[in-house]
Amino acid sequence: MNAALDPEIAASPLAVHGLTVSYGRKPAVYSVDFVTPPGSMTAIIGPNGAGKSTLLKAALGITRRLSGDVRVFGKPYAEQSRHVAYVPQRSSVDWDFPATVLDVVMMGLYRDLRWWQLTRRRHREQAMQSLSRVGMEAFAERQIGQLSGGQQQRVFLARALVQDAELMILDEPFAGVDAATEKAIVEVLKSLKARGKTLLCVHHDLATVRDYFDHVLLINVRRVAAGRVDQAFTSAALQEAYGGRLSDVQLARIICPAAHLTQRA
């Protein structure tokens, strides 16, 4: 792939080509190509063990990849990491860590602080501002171990917001959070999209794909389908990705949620 020549890849906040990751001999992700459209809100969808999180982690350089190429705005990730904000799964950290909510959000400012600098009021205000965007400013001094699951997720989102990056990558942000938090997070994500940012999100709830996202990437180790939701998010593609595990009723509910709702009403 010659990234310098392909304008689509040069403009994309995250383009992966031939990405393969393997745990032992078993490939978790096999030769996946995907070019994230700039300004899109893309859901990565697939059954359990389909390699959704692995794909993201390999793209971000967390998991070592066996082969493949990752480009952020046409350049390797290592040069462009300031453009990317990552929201990991809640379970990835030890919540007994001695830190307050504000401490965690301030970690998002890592690149703005040189080693001789102490944290200033300006940084603290920046962090408080992004906390207020997720409705958590009253919790700034709270020890992180005292938060509920939804509140932890909000804090992680605030840490990513403070980075003010062009691309935000989220790993199952709605897993195990309450409905109010889900709504709050979706609102923040949509406001980011309105400001021209790109969002890429591992998502597990098929019923909300149409409401939240405009693009999808369906994978099951290999890429199954990708594109706009109305074109790629079809029952045929879903059946292929999920290996025929979805019933017709489930499919109808997912593909046409509006029809389902009117039916129930």
Partner 1 sequence: MLTTWLEPWGRALLFGAGYNTSLVTLGAMILGASAGMIGSFILLRKRSLVSDAVSHATLPGLTLAFILMATLWGDGRWLPGLLIGAAASAAFGLWAVQTIRDRTRLGEDAAIGAILSTLFGFGVVLITAIQSMNVGGQAGLTGYLVGATAGMLASEATLITACALLLLVAVFVMRRAFLLVCFDADYATTRGLNARHIDLIMLMLLLAVVVIGLKVTGLILIVALTIIPPVTGRFWTDRPLRMVAIAALCGALAGYLGVTLSSVRSGLPTGPLIVLAAFLLFAVSLLFSPRRGIVATLAAHQRFKRRVHLRQGLLALARDDAIYDDLTLRVLRRRGYIRRDGVATPLGASAARDAEHEERLWALYRNRYPDEAAQLDHQGLVPINSALPPDTVITLESDLQRIPGSVQ
Residues of this chain that interact with partner 1 (CB under 8 A) are 57, 60-62, 78, 81-82, 84, 86, 88, 92-94, 97-100, 103-104, 107, 110-111, 113, 115, 134-136, 138-139, 143, 146, 148-151, 154, 176-181, 183-184
Q: Are 189 and 211 contacting, i.e. CB atoms less than 8 angstroms apart?
A: no
How do 167-171 and 198-202 pair as beta strands?
parallel
Q: Which two tokens stand for residue 47?
A: 């059954």
- The residue (of 6 and 178) whose beta carbon lies closer to partner 1 is 178
- Residue (169 or 192) nearer to partner 1, CB: 169
Q: How far is the CB of 131 from partner 1 (least distance, A)?
A: 10
Q: How far is the CB of 114 from partner 1 (least distance, A)?
A: 9
Q: What pairs with residue 265 in β-bridges? A: none
CA-to-CA distance for 101 and 105, rounded, in angstroms? 6
Taking the least distance from each CB to partner 1, the nearer of 63 and 234 is 63
* CA 180, 196, 87, 58 torsion-angle sign: positive
Minimum CB–partner distance for residue 44 and partner 1 (Å):
16
Residue count of the chain, please give it: 265
Q: Closest separation between CB of residue 247 and partner 1, Å?
A: 26
Q: How far is the CB of 221 from partner 1 (least distance, A)?
A: 22
- Which of 82/245 has CB closer to partner 1? 82
Of 155 and 216, which CB lies nearer to partner 1 in the complex structure?
Answer: 155
For 203, 206, 223, the CA distances from 246, given in Å and listed in that order, are 17, 11, 18
Confirm if 1 and 76 have CB atoms less than 8 A apart: no
**Cα dihedral 251/256/261/264 (nearest 10):** -50
